[in-house]
Amino acid sequence: MIISAAKWQTGATFITFALSLLQLTVLARVFDAKAFGYLAIVMVSVNIYQTLSDLGMANYLVFVQKVSDALNSTVFWICAFAGLVLCLCMQLTSGLIENYYDMQGLGQLLNIAALALIPVSLGAQLQARYMLEFKLSALAKFDIIAKLISTSFVVITVTTLGFELDAVVLGVVLSASVKLLLLCSFSEKGWLPKFKFSKYDAQQAWGYGKFQVGSQVLNKLREELDIIILGMFIDAAKLGLYSLAKQLAQKIASLIVPIVRKLTLPLIAKSRSNQKTLTSVVYKSHCISTVMLVFPHILLLFVAQQVTVLFYGEQKLGVAVYLIPLTIFYMLRSVGGALAGSICQGLGKTNIDFYWNVSVFFIYAIIAFISAQFSELYTAYSYAIIQLLLLNAVYVLFYKNTVGLAFSRYITPIITSLLISLLICVGFMFTLNTAQLAISNSLTASAIYVLLCTGAYAVYCVKKIRIWSRHD
């Protein structure tokens, strides 16, 4: 079951990753940088509101394992009500956000985007039931279908019918609606809500979820602080270029980390009663996620300009300047804490994640506000430096104090993967330059370079994963 789920989750993530990259590539050739500044603010708003869609209660169903009809229904009705309220709040504040950033027409886009919050909230409880029963393969299929339909809609309407940014935002609403329809259509009868509500279950679910949702909101705010604050100091065009770089830099983590979290959350929850098994699960998951995350980020640093031209075109080559520091930031953030959320949710210690995000939120807020007054490039490099300094704190709080993982077992996979990745990338670059195939000269040379590096690292990964999979 786990292997099948992993295959489907991996396949779905790769497909949705490819579709989102395709959509981004098409849009980059249709819209100017200013348009992406508008889209950046819209998506920041949607992402922040979306973290509140289930008030942190849906994963409580995964935590308790045995779900009564009363608890199941209670969580659904709370999520449904939350979705309606959030939609109204976002629409009511759309005008204020438009005036704050002085972007005419932004309010209309926000009003459309707010509609996506309703299907997301309505589907939160059902999605948790699929996760509880480890039917991750079904969720993966739903994600593929929803993303395929929404991407097709956006690409066709923008390129053929001449629609503007509203079509892109409608694609977000369409994706959420299609996924809700699929969740309902293929769910088991016992998963569907009934006209029941338990005050006791609501209190228990809220006790679990309040720290989780608070942590998620703060985490999302921290993630989007640079966009929120930079919008105060730079124009929409510069914000658009920065946003394009950020979207590309975080693609690798968005491809791998969700798979890790979906697979590890139920495993950690089931093994929480056995300390030895728990530590083993966390260690193996950390090792495998690390070898998967480090190399693509390092490789992206070496081919930043070529990747920018490939996906965004030469007109937006300025994106590459921001891509390097942002890639370093997301690499450090993902390898250090890919399992943090799963550990806290699986062990019912969501308060730890909450207090952590409260602390680092203020650190990033201060850094972002100060650095944004100089330039967006200062902000990007400042983020990377701060994340490096926080790496040890992440270990102490989430891995040492929570699951008792030794520091050597935490840091060794990171350093080893980093050194091997650098050795491979530098080695093949030197080899190609010696053969007069400089990767800066053509996309063909760049493709050869990427294939050689990836092949060499794949051999290393296979060997290390086999060793770690047998290690207790």
Least confident of 30-39, 300-309, 428-437: 428-437
Residues 248 and 182 in one domain: no
Range(s) of the domain holding residue 94: 1-197
**Predicted confidence band of residue 207 (pLDDT cuts 50, 70, 90):** confident
pLDDT in tens, 37-49: 899 999 989 988 8
Tell me if 120 sits within 8 A of 178, measured CB to CB: no
Residues 282 and 162 in one domain: no
- pTM listed for this prediction: 0.80
**Predicted confidence band of residue 56 (pLDDT cuts 50, 70, 90):** confident
Name the more confident of 455 and 178.
178
Residues 294 and 426 in one domain: yes
Name the more confident of 457 and 85.
85
pLDDT in tens, 8-28: 767 777 888 889 889 988 998
Reply yes or no on whether the pLDDT at 81 is more than 70: yes
Residues 391 and 262 in one domain: yes
The answer as to whether 136 is a domain residue is yes
The answer as to whether 77 is a domain residue is yes
Reply yes or no on whether the pLDDT at 262 is more than 70: yes
Residues 418 and 312 in one domain: yes
**Predicted confidence band of residue 339 (pLDDT cuts 50, 70, 90):** confident
**Predicted confidence band of residue 433 (pLDDT cuts 50, 70, 90):** low
Residues 172 and 301 in one domain: no
The answer as to whether 230 is a domain residue is no
Residues 178 and 244 in one domain: no
The answer as to whether 210 is a domain residue is no
Residues 188 and 336 in one domain: no
The answer as to whether 219 is a domain residue is no
The answer as to whether 179 is a domain residue is yes
Question: What are the φ/ψ torsions at residue 53 (nearest 5 degrees)?
Answer: -60, -30
Reply yes or no on whether the pLDDT at 164 is more than 80: yes
The answer as to whether 202 is a domain residue is no
Residues 188 and 279 in one domain: no
**Predicted confidence band of residue 469 (pLDDT cuts 50, 70, 90):** low
Reply yes or no on whether the pLDDT at 425 is more than 90: no
Boundary (domain end) residue, out of 144, 178, 197: 197
The answer as to whether 218 is a domain residue is no
What is the pLDDT at residue 1? 54
Residues 261 and 182 in one domain: no
How many domains are contained in the chain?
A: 2
Residues 168 and 44 in one domain: yes
